[in-house]
Amino acid sequence: MRHRYSILFFPLHVFADFLSLNVAFTGAYWIKFQTLEGVSDPPYASLWWFFNSIWLIEILLLKPYIFPRQLFKADHLIKKLLILMVIHVAVIAVYWVAIKAYYYSREHLLITYILFTSLAAAFRIGGLIFLREYRARGYNNRRFVIVGYGKLAVSIQSFYEAHPEMGFRFYGYFDQPTTENEGVLKGNYGELRDYVKTQGIDCVYCCMPYIDSIHLKNIVDQAEEVDYQVKLLVDFRGFLAKGASVEYHDFLPVLNLSSQMLADFRVNVFKRAFDIIFSLCVITLGLPIFLVLALITKFTSRGPILYAQERIGREGKPFKIYKFRSMYTDAEKSGPVLSGGLLDSRITPWGRFMRQTRLDELPQFFNVLKGDMSVVGPRPERQFFIDQIVEIAPEYRSLLKVKPGITSIGQIKYGYAANIDEMVQRLRYDLLYPKRRSFVFDMWIIAQTLRVMAQGRGK
């Protein structure tokens, strides 16, 4: 059964808010003065009238009850309520000072706003819970079809299936028949118009990767005649992960695919300054530890103290990374091989301890001073393994926009990777870093790294 009562939401919201406002005003008056006599007489009558007038003006100007179903969430509703409340309080405060209305009770005003906020919020939360349950049961739904079959089309269908509380009901795919979509389509482009009309379809999602401009124009032209909405689906996910933004040239929206965050001059300058200061402190204060580690490495197995290996840095620039040697000297005589974990037979007994405590990474503070690395950033890899990772997870390329680091989220949460699949799993953590990069976040990662070192939990 198809119920369409959305048109009633606006007047219902208005009524509920005005009811809450007036109940709060009179209720606060009774709490303060233990009587309702005088609430409708001067001077409180004018304040009461002004309270309602300001709220009405806010509704007319800001239109706070108009939002799509996708934003019909508790946090969005409460946020809008609080914005309205702040504006209302500010206007009342100006009114208070302008007419020198110091005879009004401050306590009454405080109680009014507390009651009003509580009642309005309770109505919103209660209405949200009711409406979600109502829509999940199949009422007040919006019927939609998807034009253009592919991964993006399946994604939007799956999204609404996973969120029945939004009240969107799927009625089929439309596209030109091919071997790939055989048995999946409800019809072709020519059958779309009649189907939309007979089934009462409310919305037609058009997937831009799979539909040409001619068919899209026809669908848009028919929308007003048949009475349905047209929504375009464009797969920007790969771009947005790199920090895309929208610029407006007059009335034309332009998608800017350069990452603003990664090009932020202040972030880069402050981060570099911190890297230099922190590395100098570690090298200077930790010099005795460096010497002890070097001596033990030298006398526990044959070979050099330090191990140098080519890694790929920012913008694909290769550099030599330095570590205290933790493996036997012929560990990669047959070619590049990932470590098989702490039980790898190529790792020396002393090297196993250094890996558990991450002490083998300490020489990389010299890489930081040289500018090849940062203290915090995604771990650098060899080109041999990067080529394999990119085939599985192309988004890895976004990490090459950031200077690699000694420690990272992936190192904390996952540790060393023993194969390509594990490297991809660790990548999921490191991909968070470019989006959340900040001084506070770097400090958190460093603190977590120290905890891992102290507990000897390096994997």
Q: Which are the contacts of 382, defined by CB distance < 8 A and separation ≥ 6? A: 309, 310, 311, 312, 336
Contact 283, 290 (CB under 8 A): yes
pLDDT mean over 432-453: 83
Q: State pLDDT tens for residues 252-302.
A: 566 665 544 444 555 677 888 889 999 999 999 889 999 999 999 999 988
Domain positions in the chain are 6-136, 142-235, 265-455
Taking all residues of the chain, what is their mean pLDDT, rounded to a whole number? 83
In eight-state DSSP terms, residue 230 is: E
**pTM: predicted TM-score of the whole model, two decimal places:** 0.44
Q: Which are the contacts of 156, defined by CB distance < 8 A and separation ≥ 6? A: 146, 205, 207, 233
Helix, strand, coil % over all residues of the chain, rounded to 5: 60, 15, 30
Residue 310 to residue 316: CA distance in whole angstroms: 12
What pLDDT shows up at residue 67?
A: 60
Q: Distances in Å between the alpha carbon of 18 and those of 22, 25, 59, 119, 127?
A: 6, 10, 11, 11, 16
Nearest CA among 353, 365, 280, 355 for reference residue 321: 365
Contact 359, 389 (CB under 8 A): no
Residue 260 to residue 401: CA distance in whole angstroms: 12
Report whether CATH 3.40.50.720 matches the domain 142-235. yes
Residue 342: phi and psi, rounded to 5, are -65, -20
One-letter amino acid of 169: R
Residue 146 to residue 232: CA distance in whole angstroms: 10
Instruction: Give residue for tokens 């103290």.
Output: 305
Q: State pLDDT tens for residues 100-109.
A: 877 889 999 9
Residue 231 to residue 70: CA distance in whole angstroms: 14
User: Helix axis angle, 287-300 relative to 349-357, nearest 10°?
Assistant: 150
Q: State pLDDT tens for residues 51-88.
A: 999 999 988 888 777 666 665 677 778 888 898 999 99
What pLDDT shows up at residue 25?
A: 94
Which tokens belong to 284?
């200077």
Q: State pLDDT tens for residues 120-135.
A: 999 988 888 887 787 7
